[in-house]
Amino acid sequence: MARIYDYFLGGKDNYAADRAAAARILEVIPHAPEMARANRAFLGRVVRHLVGVGIDQFLDLGTGLPTRENVHEVATEARVVYVDNDPVVLVHARALLADSPRTEVVEGNLHDPERILADAGEYLDFGRPVAVLLMAILHFFPDDAEVAAIVAALRRPLAPGSCVAVSHGHAGELPPDWRRRGRAVYAGTYAGGAAGRGKEHLAGWLDGLELVPPGIVPVQKWHSTEETPDPTAVGVLGAVGFVPH
């Protein structure tokens, strides 16, 4: 997943098999690279906003290969913990981030969020505000109930003033056969599948949090003057919610 994403972002940390998988995705979603870049730009805007309101601890889940405008490069004075479960990604990330003293890379699988929190707790103080970043990762978990449980577990230890930021792919009006073709590509990755979801899912995960305006929107529209995409098209939704005081 991470290397396909890196390829769509124009990076060089990918292999022939990743590029072949990306080509199959492009047959179904020709604007997938634009979606990847929009998601990455959303991450940068979110982190800058959170730094601006005083957040100095970040837990970035499913970070993938560090590519462009990573969290620690935007939040330069913050403590950042990156989490991934792909062993190749972990080795590569640790090598790339070896000279970043405020940044840690830990192995973790979102199927076991409690373990992630325990390991991240060695570096982050959950007694103070922490930003949990779930960027373009939850759509690789096809079971709706499990995703809801994952987000609930990650929210449980968060102190007031903490936040959860989510971006998630949605299938728009993509024909069912094309959706199956897209899922088939990701079935061969470390994730083993993918699922598009809509606003109602994000609203459920973030229920009880104070959403930063404009709420749950296409990522291009969040604190941006970019042109808003067709809401019926395939794309990425995003939102940021704060734990109330």
pLDDT at 46: 97
- Cα dihedral 199/38/19/144 (nearest 10): -20
Q: What is the pLDDT of residue 64?
A: 65
The pLDDT score that the predictor gives to residue 67 is 64
pLDDT tens column, 186-243: 565 555 567 778 899 999 999 999 999 999 999 999 998 776 666 556 689 999 999 9
Assign 27 a pLDDT band (cuts: 50, 70, 90): confident
β-pair type (103-107, 163-170) = unpaired
Nearest to 205 by CA among 152, 163, 146: 152
Select from 185, 180, 86, 192 the least CA-distant residue to 141: 192
DSSP state of 139: G
Is it the case that residue 97 has pLDDT exceeding 90?
Answer: no
pTM for the structure as a whole: 0.85
Would you tell me which CATH number, out of the four given (3.40.50.720, 3.20.170.30, 3.40.50.150, 3.30.450.40), belongs to the domain 2-242?
A: 3.40.50.150
Rounded to whole angstroms, the Cα distance separating 118 from 144 reads 24
From the CB of residue 73, how many other CB atoms can be counted at a distance below 10 Å?
A: 14
pLDDT at res. 234: 65
One-letter identity of residue 36: A
**For residue 83, what are the β-bridge partners?**
61, 106
